[in-house]
Amino acid sequence: MRIAYFINQYPKVSHSFIRREILALERQGFEVQRIALRGWDAELVDAEDVSERDKTQYVLQGGVKALLKPVLQVLRERPRAFFSALWLALRMGRRADRSWPYHLIYLAEACRMLPWLQACGHVHAHFGTNSTEVVMLANALGGPAYSFTVHGPEEFDKPQFIHLGEKVRRSAFVVAISSYGRSQLYRWVDHGHWSKVKVVHCGLEQAFHDVPAVPMPFLPRLVCVGRLCEQKGQLLLMEAARILAAKGVAFEIVLAGDGEMRGQIEALIARHGLQAHVQITGWISSEQVRAHILGARAMVLPSFAEGLPVVIMEAMALRRPVLTTYVAGIPELVRHGENGWLFPAGAVAELADVLEDCLAQPDDVLQRMGEAAYQRVLERHDIDTEAAKLAALFKAQA
């Protein structure tokens, strides 16, 4: 069966879970056509991402001129479908997070990708924002049935303004990555559409599961992996680090990543005199992320909003306990006192307490928690098991 995957930007450092899903579906016997809006000129550090870029068609490559001809062609060949999709695009622009000109651009993007979808029996989008609107408009133009994966938190921050319910109603099915995500989708559609909502976890490939156990490092080092942005809570982590430093606790924190809040974080590090305790790596490859996780005694992720972070799965697969918050789907995976620590989001004193508790634990306790983490993630997040669930859903549409 030939299907298409549509993503805003692909490949991308933070979208490695999509790459894993596509490759796992190909192992299941699917032919997967990659389509993205952008990403052809992105700076990539992973060889696998470079390979994926060569397999991807880009809707916005060529600029506005490349969109105009497909629009005129669809208007000429399918006028009724075009005006039906145009009306839908205008409706999607009402009381939306973006004004109606954006939705006309989404229609143009749908027109350009329409001929690319002719040989596909189904198209699947990741994220319930504009990428799903584009495949929904392509469907209205006469393209294949569509489905999409909702990750959160963005979709749950503004469900009415991205018309999430309309996207679910028109879809063949919709995937949530956690039970929490499923419950949020239930809120925005009638009970009659609940059967469309399926839970399929993001998964890790065998290479993660097969990594031999690496002993806990001697250094009191923790790692925080993720984009440096407001929702990940790194500013709160620096406030907690200030408390530890004032107590004379020995520690190191590696912030593995980069992002729009780097300047603010660096300013806070300087203000609190934490330069000897905190390192920011900038963007690094998947292999480097793995090395940093293995070089730490645990991973900390003090997020304010999430779906279910893949990096938590990666750390657990590498037998490292996780310190993170009681938000979204995280408590479905991380069990307090068993394979990590959970603390209230936004609570700096509680974060400082669990950091200190973790750093005080002997190696054998952390290794036991790391092994429990490994077993938990192995049970729930094997990519081939999860891809098989998706494969069954795609085949049901054939």
pLDDT at 275 over 90: yes
pLDDT beyond 90 at 209: no
What pLDDT, on a 0 to 100 scale, did the predictor assign at position 296?
98
Query: What average pLDDT does this structure show over 380-385?
Result: 94
Single out the residue of 177, 153, 333 nearest to residue 232, CA to CA.
Answer: 153
Which whole number is the average pLDDT over 287-316? Answer: 95
**What's the confidence (pLDDT) of residue 390?**
97
42 — pLDDT class (breaks 50, 70, 90): confident
Query: How much is the pLDDT for 3?
Result: 98
Contact between 394 and 30 under an 8 Å Cβ cutoff? The reply is yes
Report the first-to-last Cα separation within the chain, whole angstroms. Answer: 8
369 pLDDT above the threshold of 90: yes
Q: Quick one: which of 308, 95, 345, 342 has its CA closest to 184?
A: 308
Give yes or no for residue 302 having a pLDDT over 90: yes
Residue for token digits 């049970």? 379
For 233-246, write each residue's pLDDT tens digit: 999 999 999 999 99
Enumerate domains of the chain plus CATH numbers. 2-203+382-396 (3.40.50.2000), 206-380 (3.40.50.2000)
**pLDDT (tens digit, 9 = 90+) per residue, 314-325?**
999 999 999 999
Structure tokens at 248: 């004379």
pTM of the model: 0.91
Q: What is the pLDDT of residues 279-297, one digit of tens each?
A: 999 988 888 999 999 999 9
- In angstroms, the CA 128 to CA 123 distance is 14
pLDDT for residue 208 is more than 80 = no
Mean of pLDDT values over 165-172? 98
Q: How confident is the model at residue 13 (pLDDT cuts 50, 70, 90)?
A: confident
Per-residue pLDDT, 210: 76
Residue 205, pLDDT score: 82
Locus of tokens 């005199």: 273
Distance, CA of 252 to chain centre = 27
Tokens of 66: 């490349």
What is the model's pLDDT at position 136? 98
How far apart are the C-alpha atoms of 252 and 223, rounded to whole Å? 8
> Which pLDDT value is given to residue 211?
77
